[in-house]
Structure 1
């Protein structure tokens, strides 16, 4: 009977040991490196004001804010017909992950700007720049040429979000 009890306990113990080893090896020190399409992003404790802020907004509030913006956007489009004001912009995950790899980045600043262009092709755009726990800008180094259509080796942030209506169409 003792033998049966021992073999009955062996399977859960081995499973527990295997799962523990798997957890310890995931994104921890001395662990195998993530695969080609995987990134381990650490989330260091941030006790700054920014780190303590809860940024959650309920869907009902999102809908109200969007409705208010739509009304204001329509007014802006009438008063400033040479500036295209998009409904929204979308940024891809890979670009955001580039910032998240930097452990000094505690959050993001979203700047608004007017992209230069011909008289009928200027567009309101959102630019994203990382910030440290003190709110100081943290810029990306883009030596890969992957970020942005006109990427250089200079420091920078993110732009070239996908817009609706398309940002390259005249209003």
Structure 2
């Protein structure tokens, strides 16, 4: 009787193991798993960028932000026609579009000034992927999924959500 009980318990474990193995093996180089799911492999990065540790403690983040606010306020007083946001937020869908490209090992964050016409000029953050040699890697938004009109143009990411709210329309 103990043997029969043991085999009854083994069946669910074997089934669970096979299901797990199937899910893991279905992850092939950035392929779509389900409607809203993407599997992204994280290959070993031996570049100088891959060796860098990017962690910063919360206390340091708070100090950097406080110092930035002081510097920003000083710059804006001298140049009132420039808008400098506290931060910009980019959505996950846009970032995942880059992560699906196996040549992307990191990101470059460019700063630019977007002309504002009659409004203030806005300092904006732009994101592009970077390959193991540090060269820019651009993405295509050929179906308009990233918010732009559908084109075959290559580019990067911009139009993050700003705080205070960006007063420059995209």
TM-score scaled by length of structure 2: 0.89
Q: Quickly say closer, same or farther: Cα 1:84–1:149, change in 2 above 3 A.
A: farther
DSSP-derived class of the 2:38 partner: coil
Q: 2:15 maps to what in 1?
A: 18
DSSP-derived class of the 2:34 partner: coil
Residues in 2 aligned to 1:21 and 1:8: alpha-carbon distance in whole angstroms:
21
Q: 2:60 maps to what in 1?
A: 61
Q: 1:34 maps to what in 2?
A: 33
Bigger Cα displacement from structure 2, 149-158 vs 93-102: 149-158
Shift of 1:12: 3.4
Aligned length, in residue pairs: 167
Q: 2:136 maps to what in 1?
A: 137
8 Å contact from structure 1 (residues 95, 147) kept in 2: yes
Residues in 2 aligned to 1:152 and 1:80: alpha-carbon distance in whole angstroms:
36
Q: 1:147 maps to what in 2?
A: 146
Residues in 2 aligned to 1:136 and 1:72: alpha-carbon distance in whole angstroms:
31
TM-score scaled by length of structure 1: 0.89
1:108 aligns with 2:107: yes
8 Å contact from structure 1 (residues 143, 152) kept in 2: yes
8 Å contact from structure 2 (residues 27, 40) kept in 1: no
Render the CA deviation track for 1:42-98: whole Å, top value 9, x for unaligned.
101111111111111110011011001111110111111111000110000000010
Q: Quickly say closer, same or farther: Cα 1:10–1:95, change in 2 above 3 A.
A: same
Q: 2:47 maps to what in 1?
A: 48
Residues in 1 aligned to 2:111 and 2:41: alpha-carbon distance in whole angstroms:
29
- Unaligned 5+ runs, structure 2: none
Shift of 1:135: 1.0
1:164 aligns with 2:163: yes
Shift of 1:29: 4.3
Render the CA deviation track for 1:113-170: whole Å, top value 9, x for unaligned.
0012215331000000001111111100110112244663211000010001111269
- Unaligned 5+ runs, structure 1: none
Shift of 1:30: 7.8
Shift of 1:14: 1.7
